[in-house]
Amino acid sequence: MGILKTGELASKKTQRLIDKKKQEVLTLLRENWREEMVNTQLDSMSHRYLLYVPAQNIVDHINLYRNLGDRDFIWQITKETNSEIRTVSICGKDKPGFYSKIAGIFFLNHIDIVA
């Protein structure tokens, strides 16, 4: 029945893990965000995202969204520990071709996208 309501199949165990992750995110954001605002954000996220993305990364992504304001996009670049890899997190307003333009800019600047 869950798949009919949400469009996603999640076992009870998976749902417990997702609920635990949501609680972690709420705890991390409690000082800066109202709980209802965090819940609104969390409810818009896919189960797969909530299951596999670490709580701190979700917090960082929510904060990117919060800081977007009137800008078309905002980004955050972090360096992986003991690696030359950088993670670029991008939050932008939905426009046709948005991500393909970013991928093109990365390509023109010889920046490999590995994931």
CA 109, 111, 112 angle in degrees (round to 5)?
Answer: 145
Q: Which of 60, 49, 61 is nearest to 17 (CA)?
A: 49
The whole-number pLDDT of residue 29 equals: 93
Residue-wise pLDDT for 25-55, tens only, equals 999 998 888 889 999 999 999 999 999 999 9
What is the chain's alpha carbon radius of gyration, rounded to the nearest angstrom? 16
Residue-wise pLDDT for 96-105, tens only, equals 999 899 999 9
The whole-number pLDDT of residue 96 equals: 94
Which comes out higher in pLDDT, residue 80 or 70? 70
| pTM attached to this predicted model | 0.78
How much is the mean pLDDT over the chain?
Answer: 88
d(CA 115, CA 111) in angstroms, rounded, equals: 12
Surface-to-core class of residue 92, CB atoms within 10 Å of its CB (0-12 exposed, 13-18 middle, 19+ buried): middle
* 34 Cβ contact partners less than 8 Å away, ≥ 6 residues apart: none
The whole-number pLDDT of residue 16 equals: 92
